[in-house]
Structure 1
């Protein structure tokens, strides 16, 4: 197929991470970037040695002969930009969350099917050795029937871009539930072989953001901007096979330190992902297995996979349809929290 020509749309914090990853992958050349802030687009293009920059992504799609784009913009732009790129005949790697709701995510999947182009959601934790190791233990039957999963990402002071699009529900879709949950909710569903969700009971809280407390280092704050999202959310998700997933996500909490976890309970064994541990019975004893894992650059591995899918015409991991289901669950959490009632699928 030859060298893959790439454009990156949005070159703020996560856009630069994508650029670094692309430059670490063979047979790939980033030929252009787009950002609505011209000075930022110019500066990033110069610092990464990229020949051209734009302030309008549609102009880039029209003028450049691109094989692929990364979409690294605010959440509300993910769906329209993805659809435009796919219709322009360009393969898409879209940052998480897939969109601001499941309806917008479905538009992306429909466009990918209509154009026969690759759509991949950037859920980089799938490419960690920790996640791959746990998945292999699951596949080999060490856990048996997984009936309960518990996942969480909890921060002490991590509200991103206070007052910016991050904390504006119309532009972000929500707070930590839509910002952080896609990663570990995706992992739980993947480990459990994507059982169909049938019910959700969700709760949200905003205890620090409205007081302009607990800012994090990610994003660019905008003084006087809105904060109308949660800073902590949690939910119980019921699945068709009788299993349950518990999810909790926070940008700000009164806890000892930032923590992330993914716990699986099966009838033959249990697992923790961070760091990987397996708990089971062997030779009449309850034992703990600690696999050796390698530290890898999640973004480089993710983009290697994306490029390979384009070169070989194979389906990406994760699939767009899986991303839509994750968004349906997140939508249901917000609806349940708003109404105080369980949402049934």
Structure 2
């Protein structure tokens, strides 16, 4: 992977969040967005025109083959992550891969094998590791502010619309994957076994409540709860509690500022704010720095993301078995 003074990047998948990646790249110095790709060719063309990007494609692999960028964001739905990621790695192009990085442990293994044979790397886009309140909490917990870690409890509740948007993705792989990753990051440990329950299915639809418990190698226990049960209005605050031998730490963070006017508005103030840089800018800045130094991230690794997928799979298996404990694979 030869890197020039100006980094050349592309974005594959330019729905709402893909455009947020575009906005963040556009704010970075020394970066040229060479192309975008989306399965909806007309949408790809329109997004390229809006952002002044010269080239657009209906296929991510075609973008990589034709443009040979230094790095790409893969912001497609999870089921479409594998092909563009493998194409990028084969061409020596670094990948910022949105969560979930894959839909199964089998797909993760394929990506890991491709990284081993590539000059490039994959950086999982676990954005909460770049969000200021979580960074502050991580620093204090890892410095021993609550003593030896005993337990983690997290809750993340979203609207019922998620069950429609992600009808083919289990909640554990979509919403709860954030909390799985936070537990891995905060504990610095790995999961041994899990037990979980799911509720709220309607017909063939997805479970809308998942509640799991994880036993970790370091002896800590993690309670993870996620739901898609709320009305489609501003969500409850995400809550994270850390318990240790010397005390506890609590973070309650609403992802938006709620404006109770007419109409009611939810203004993002942490992840992808319109008016100033946020966590996604920090994440993409770090990705670009990794490309320049030709090395993967030391903040979030593919191995950690892969372990998160193993945990999510175990939670799903346990929930579907009525809560029976399931060992977490490697």
TM-score, scaled to structure 2: 0.86
List aligned pairs for 1:303-318, cutoff 5 A. Answer: 303-316=284-297, 317-318=299-300
Change (3 A) 1:4 1:243: same
Report the alpha carbon displacement of residue 178 of structure 1 after superposing the two structures with TM: 1.1
- Is the partner of 1:252 in helix, strand or coil? strand
For residues 343 and 90 of structure 1, the distance between their equivalents in structure 2, rounded to whole angstroms, comes to 37
Report the alpha carbon displacement of residue 275 of structure 1 after superposing the two structures with TM: 5.0
Q: Partner residue of 1:184?
A: 179
The answer to whether the Cα contact below 8 Å between 1:177 and 1:250 also exists between their aligned partners in 2 is no
For residues 342 and 271 of structure 1, the distance between their equivalents in structure 2, rounded to whole angstroms, comes to 28
Q: Partner residue of 2:20?
A: 17
Alpha-carbon displacement from aligned partner over 1:46-93 (angstroms, at most 9, x marks no partner) = 101100101122221111021011111111111232112111211100
Report the alpha carbon displacement of residue 304 of structure 1 after superposing the two structures with TM: 0.4
**1:297 and 2:274 equivalent?**
no
- Is the partner of 1:230 in helix, strand or coil? coil
List aligned pairs for 1:257-336, cutoff 5 A. Answer: 258-275=236-253, 297-316=278-297, 317-336=299-318
Q: Partner residue of 1:76?
A: 79
Q: Partner residue of 1:224?
A: none
Report the alpha carbon displacement of residue 253 of structure 1 after superposing the two structures with TM: 4.1
2:320 aligns with one of 338, 342, 345: 338
Q: Partner residue of 1:91?
A: 94
Change (3 A) 1:228 1:87: farther
For residues 37 and 73 of structure 1, the distance between their equivalents in structure 2, rounded to whole angstroms, comes to 11
The answer to whether the Cα contact below 8 Å between 1:159 and 1:231 also exists between their aligned partners in 2 is no
The answer to whether the Cα contact below 8 Å between 1:201 and 1:333 also exists between their aligned partners in 2 is yes
Change (3 A) 1:310 1:257: closer
The answer to whether the Cα contact below 8 Å between 1:123 and 1:182 also exists between their aligned partners in 2 is no
Q: Partner residue of 2:193?
A: 199
Which 4+ runs in 1 deviate beyond 6 A?
none
Change (3 A) 1:136 1:71: same
Report the alpha carbon displacement of residue 184 of structure 1 after superposing the two structures with TM: 2.0
The answer to whether the Cα contact below 8 Å between 2:155 and 2:224 also exists between their aligned partners in 1 is yes
The answer to whether the Cα contact below 8 Å between 2:238 and 2:252 also exists between their aligned partners in 1 is yes
For residues 231 and 275 of structure 1, the distance between their equivalents in structure 2, rounded to whole angstroms, comes to 21
- Is the partner of 2:81 in helix, strand or coil? helix
The answer to whether the Cα contact below 8 Å between 1:10 and 1:73 also exists between their aligned partners in 2 is yes
For residues 159 and 64 of structure 1, the distance between their equivalents in structure 2, rounded to whole angstroms, comes to 37
The answer to whether the Cα contact below 8 Å between 1:188 and 1:262 also exists between their aligned partners in 2 is no
The answer to whether the Cα contact below 8 Å between 1:6 and 1:69 also exists between their aligned partners in 2 is yes
List aligned pairs for 1:161-172, cutoff 5 A. Answer: 162=164, 166-168=166-168, 172=169
Change (3 A) 1:247 1:296: farther
**1:250 and 2:231 equivalent?**
no
For residues 290 and 117 of structure 2, the distance between their equivalents in structure 1, rounded to whole angstroms, comes to 18
Structure 2 gap ranges (5+): 255-269
**1:159 and 2:140 equivalent?**
no
Change (3 A) 1:273 1:106: farther
- Over the aligned positions, Cα root-mean-square deviation in angstroms equals 2.2
Q: Partner residue of 2:128?
A: 125
For residues 274 and 309 of structure 1, the distance between their equivalents in structure 2, rounded to whole angstroms, comes to 31
The answer to whether the Cα contact below 8 Å between 2:180 and 2:311 also exists between their aligned partners in 1 is no
